[in-house]
Amino acid sequence: MRIDVVTLFPELVAGPLGTSIIGRAAQAGTVEYRVHDLREHGLGRHRSVDDYPYGGGAGMVMRPEPLFDALEPLRAAGAHVVLLDPAGERLTDALARELATIPHLALVCGRYEGIDERIRTLVDREVSIGDYVLTGGELPALVLLDAVVRLVPGVIAEASHKGDSFASGLLEHPQYTRPERFRDLEVPPVLLSGNHGEVDRWRRRESLRRTLERRPDLLDEAPLDDADRRVLEELRSGEA
């Protein structure tokens, strides 16, 4: 997989790409990252990339010429262009899994008050990481990149992300490690029992419990069977 990032601040992006799982993915050759400094396509002696908005208003708007110059070669190379924008579709686990199947992504980081609307003609998809505004698209691009790269085959063991929150439509169950007892807080005995069937049932129940308590909206779309529905009835009635 190849991921290009187009940004005015390459230093914000380049560092994290060399660390942790996403860094190891590059070292292994599973994923290739290329960071493009948009300023290299700026206009005039000062490499200008922005201008005042037509019609007036606060802030500056990113000009179309630099981004067209940066994106057209990437599109010609087969890139699926993703603009990080607060008005885009919400980044979800399902969307990250879809993007992980695309062999070449180009992530566009906006800045200032926004982008010239004509730039959107080069964009295949617009994505938002939440209902808030940041100073630029670099951090959202890294969030999206991290969410996608860990799902690329060969980056981490498939079993490691199959049980993730949202992967099954539910929040993940609680996790414990050693010691068995810490400051009067104990690991649930079922996890020490060695009974894998009981462990699986406990984890499913706790996943349902946590989702019901924290994100009940997810239950409307989650794939639930009759056993899950019985557990939810018990939890709602306070029987467990």
Q: Walk me through the domains of the chain, giving residue ranges and CATH numbers.
A: 2-158 (3.40.1280.10), 181-237 (1.10.1270.20)
What is the pLDDT of the chain when averaged over all its residues? 95
- Which of 93-97, 122-126, 161-165, 185-189 shows the lowest mean pLDDT across its residues? 161-165
What percent of the chain is predicted at pLDDT more than 70?
Answer: 98
Using the 8-state DSSP alphabet, how is residue 114 labeled? E
Q: 93, 113, 146, 228: which one is catalytic? A: 113
Dihedral sign for Cα atoms in the order 118, 45, 37, 131 = negative
Q: 16, 53, 64, 86: which one is catalytic? A: 86
Q: How many CA atoms, within 13 angstroms, populate the side-chain half-sphere of residue 165?
A: 14
Query: Residue 153 pLDDT > 70, yes or no?
Result: yes
Q: 40, 164, 180, 233: which one is catalytic? A: 164
**Would you call 113 a catalytic residue per the annotation?**
yes
Query: Residue 238 pLDDT > 90, yes or no?
Result: no
Query: Residue 227 pLDDT > 70, yes or no?
Result: yes
How far apart (Å, rounded) are the C-alpha atoms in residues 18 and 25?
9
Q: Taking residues 226-239, report their average pLDDT.
A: 94
Q: 150, 205, 206, 209: which one is catalytic? A: 150
Task: Give the model confidence (pLDDT) of 166-177 as tens digits.
Answer: 878 999 999 999
Burial (CB count within 10 angstroms: exposed 0-12, middle 13-18, buried 19+), residue 213:
exposed
**Would you call 164 a catalytic residue per the annotation?**
yes
- Which of 50-64, 81-95, 150-164, 211-225 shows the lowest mean pLDDT across its residues? 150-164
**Would you call 86 a catalytic residue per the annotation?**
yes
Residue type at 134 in one-letter notation? L
Query: Model confidence at 163, in pLDDT bands (50, 70, 90)?
Result: low
What percent of the chain is predicted at pLDDT more than 90?
Answer: 93
Q: Taking residues 6-30, report their average pLDDT.
A: 97
Query: Model confidence at 33, in pLDDT bands (50, 70, 90)?
Result: very high
